[in-house]
């Protein structure tokens, strides 16, 4: 997934189809000069439908197609011929996409399962033909219903990445390196902060052909919940992860303090994030000796911890075991 191709926020303008008009037709044949009403109903207008699709990972396909118009219903005809319904317009989006009204910011829906569909805008109902309005006292109604009008709405689509494990840490904590080692993902890796500008997803293979999904989230800095760094833009992706893997380098000045800062940023953004299962990975253990590791072990927060080195491959198998066990719980 190229960095420039990751789009997780789009605003689109949607319009449903208007209903077709009913027909005010009368039956006419060679020997039936004054037949009764036989006008058919108009077809309904097309709906605008949001559908979750597991084959999509981003909203980029909607970036340059921001006007979604459904088809109009056709008018009814004689001999009680009904008009055809307008064509529905289906918007395919990744699982985990939320929809909001662009003007009122009202929450509309959240599609999380493959194939789940939600009607964003209903098409107008077709009008009834004059056949419906015949009565004993009015046997030749010369009127029919018009179709209902279309609906229009601007909608914001916002993607929250769905993953089993989300990587949480400061910039340059080794998140992208870990993802590249345990999966086939190829995130950008470099020795400067904010190398990762968009979330990256990778499938981690486990024993007996089992697997789970891991998400590399751009680094968090102190004050991220206030919009500093890339905070507000990507903190929402953490909300959908089952387990949070905190990653702190072994050469940090104070591991426990950094952990508390990260935890506090999540708490300030959304208090519910603190209730998620947490695991701590101490990274870059190949740059410190055993004595330093023993000192670190005494000061670690009271959460399951694993010492790893993605470059040297140390502790990776143990980390997978811990993550898999936590996922099963």
Q: What is the pLDDT of residue 3?
A: 46
Q: What is the pLDDT of residue 189?
A: 53
C-alpha–C-alpha distance, residues 322 and 312, integer Å:
19
Q: What is the pLDDT of residue 234?
A: 65
Q: What is the pLDDT of residue 230?
A: 58
Q: What is the pLDDT of residue 192?
A: 42
The CB density around residue 285, as the number of other CB atoms within 10 Å, is 24
Kindly report the backbone phi and psi dihedral angles of residue 216, in degrees, each rounded to the nearest multiple of 5, phi listed first.
Answer: -95, 110
The CB density around residue 89, as the number of other CB atoms within 10 Å, is 20
Sequence-distant (≥ 6) Cβ neighbours of residue 195 within 8 angstroms? 171, 172, 176, 188, 189
The CB density around residue 74, as the number of other CB atoms within 10 Å, is 19
Exposed, middle or buried: residue 106 (CB in 10 Å: 0-12, 13-18, 19+)? exposed
The CB density around residue 78, as the number of other CB atoms within 10 Å, is 18
Q: What are the structural domains, with CATH classification, of the chain?
A: 1-159 (2.70.210.12), 163-328 (3.40.50.300)
pLDDT along the chain (329 residues), means of 10: 63 95 90 87 96 87 90 92 94 91 92 93 94 89 93 91 81 80 64 55 82 79 55 67 86 81 82 85 78 75 83 84 86
C-alpha–C-alpha distance, residues 36 and 141, integer Å:
9
Contact 40, 80 (CB under 8 A): yes
C-alpha–C-alpha distance, residues 235 and 100, integer Å:
18
The CB density around residue 39, as the number of other CB atoms within 10 Å, is 31
Q: What is the pLDDT of residue 182?
A: 81
Q: What is the pLDDT of residue 193?
A: 46
Q: What is the pLDDT of residue 187?
A: 53
C-alpha–C-alpha distance, residues 59 and 66, integer Å:
11
Output the CA angle 108-110-115, nearest 5 degrees: 120
Q: What is the pLDDT of residue 1?
A: 38
C-alpha–C-alpha distance, residues 183 and 288, integer Å:
26
């Amino acid at each position: 997934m190229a960095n420039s191709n990751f789009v997780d926020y789009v605003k689109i303008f949607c319009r449903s189809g208007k209903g077709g008009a009913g027909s005010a037709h009368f039956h006419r044949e060679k020997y039936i000069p004054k037949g009764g009403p036989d006008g058919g109903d108009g077809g309904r207008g097309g709906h605008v439908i949001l559908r979750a699709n597991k084959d999509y990972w981003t909203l980029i396909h909607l970036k340059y197609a921001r006007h979604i118009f459904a088809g109009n219903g056709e008018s009814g005809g004689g001999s009680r011929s009904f008009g055809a319904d307008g064509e529905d317009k289906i918007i395919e989006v990744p699982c985990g996409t939320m929809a909001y009204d662009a003007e009122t910011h009202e929450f509309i829906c959240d599609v999380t399962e493959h194939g789940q569909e939600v009607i964003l805008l209903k098409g107008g109902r077709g009008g009834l033909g004059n056949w419906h309005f015949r009565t004993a006292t009015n046997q030749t109604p010369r009127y029919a219903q018009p179709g209902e009008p279309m609906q229009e709405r601007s909608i914001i689509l916002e993607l929250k990445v769905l993953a089993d494990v989300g990587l949480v840490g400061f910039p340059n904590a080794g998140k992208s390196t870990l993802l590249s080692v345990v999966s086939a993902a190829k995130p950008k890796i470099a020795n400067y902060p904010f190398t990762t500008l968009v979330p990256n997803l990778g499938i981690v293979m486990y024993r007996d052909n089992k697997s789970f999904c891991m998400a590399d989230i751009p680094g968090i800095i102190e004050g991220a919940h206030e919009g500093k760094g890339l905070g507000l833009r990507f903190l929402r992706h953490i909300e959908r992860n089952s387990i949070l893997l905190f990653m702190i380098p072994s050469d940090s000045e104070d591991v426990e303090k950094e952990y508390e800062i990260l935890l506090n940023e999540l708490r300030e953004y959304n208090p519910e994030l603190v209730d998620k299962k947490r695991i701590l990975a101490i990274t870059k253990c190949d740059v410190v000796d055993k004595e330093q590791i023993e000192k670190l072990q005494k000061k670690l927060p009271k959460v399951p911890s694993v010492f790893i080195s993605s470059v040297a491959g140390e502790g990776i198998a143990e980390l997978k075991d811990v993550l898999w066990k936590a996922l099963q719980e």
